[in-house]
Amino acid sequence: MTETTVTEAVAAQSGDVLGADPGMRKRRGPKNWRPLLLLIPAFVIVSLFFLAPLIDVFIRSVTDPQPGLQNYVWLFTTEANLTVVIRTFGTAILVTIVCLVLAYPYAYLMTIVSDRTRNMMQLFIMMPLWTSILVRTLAWMVLLQDTGPINGLLAAWFGIGPIPLIRTTFGVALGMCQVLLPFMVLPLYSSMAKIDKRLLPAASNLGANPVTAFFTVYLPLSKPGIFSGGVTVFILGLGFYIIPALLGSSKEIMISALIQQQISVFLMWGQGTALGIFLLVCTILILVLVSRFNKNGSLFPGVDR
């Protein structure tokens, strides 16, 4: 009884809402590991149905049809594959840049408006996430088709068209940017919200014009947000399947579709899984590189708030 009272007093004194004051930890002693038991179900499910499938993919990539690295040799020596890889990276980079350019002003505006407006702006950014990618892609298919309203307007106003919009890189990028924009805005906003608003007036007091002030003061301070938003959008973009499948052309497929094709159409498990491992390794490498570069960056840029 006294022990608890002391602990409570310490907790109250330190005002440590998150608890775990040193006294507590010592007292719990050997019991400290018991919460590990709570993690067992999650650990088992993730290990069996997440880690094991990935290991399975890796094993298949080096054993199917026979043991060896022939699938990786095939991956890196087939020109068509390299074209797909370059196209996938190119599209992901394009989408990342477009998202950054669109999201930056939006996120900045969020930092200078009233709380009420900001909440609304955040809601508007989150709302598209409430509708499945499939439904949104379906909508773009209707809008972008040759007989669709966009081409209809172009014909009525400018007398041109129909311009091919669907089955083009433009269509794919448009759909991907719409889906990925929120993943850029949210980290940008959270890093911009931490920037002291007095810095820009201070810079101009010291003689910097708004452009210089922005590039030498504001932009560098918002770098963490640019990194985590950029990385999230880029790696999510690399793995997109539905949008390129429905808005792109079958002649310009991306890695995900190539993987699906190798496995479901050609039944080439080894080649498909080698491509999968390649995509996975690229994703992990980018994350590791960026988390090194960006010291307080989390491995889960989209998750931390």
C-beta separation of 270 from 71 below 8 A: yes
* 176 vs 259 by CB, closer to another protein: 259
Smallest distance from another protein to CB 95, Å: 14
* 42 vs 265 by CB, closer to another protein: 42
Smallest distance from another protein to CB 160, Å: 19
Task: Report the distance separating Cα 250 and Cα 238, nearest Å.
Answer: 17
* 295 vs 305 by CB, closer to another protein: 305
* 81-94: burial string, b at 16+ Cβ within 10 Å, e else: beebbebbbebbeb
* 230 vs 302 by CB, closer to another protein: 302
Residues in the chain, overall count: 305
* 104 vs 226 by CB, closer to another protein: 104
* 224 vs 301 by CB, closer to another protein: 301
C-beta separation of 137 from 246 below 8 A: yes
Smallest distance from another protein to CB 4, Å: 5
Smallest distance from another protein to CB 142, Å: 5
Smallest distance from another protein to CB 41, Å: 5
* 125 vs 217 by CB, closer to another protein: 125
Kindly write down the DSSP assignment for every residue of the chain, as one continuous string. Answer: -HHHHHHHHHHHHHT-TT---HHHHHHHGGGGGTTHHHHHHHHHHHIIIIIHHHHHHHHHHHHSSSSSSHHHHHHHH-HHHHHHHHHHHHHHHHHHHHHHHHHHHHHHHHHHS-HHHHHHHHHHHHGGGGS-HHHHHHHHHHHHSTTSHHHHHHHHHH-------TTSHHHHHHHHHHHHHHHHHHHHHHHHTTS-TTHHHHHHHTT--HHHHIIIIIHHHTHHHHHHHHHHHHHHHHT--HHHHHHS-TTS--HHHHHHIIIIIS--HHHHHHHHHHHHHHHHHHHHHHHHHSTT--S-TTT--
Task: Report the distance separating Cα 196 and Cα 92, nearest Å.
Answer: 32
Smallest distance from another protein to CB 242, Å: 6
Smallest distance from another protein to CB 168, Å: 17
* 140 vs 227 by CB, closer to another protein: 140
Smallest distance from another protein to CB 20, Å: 6
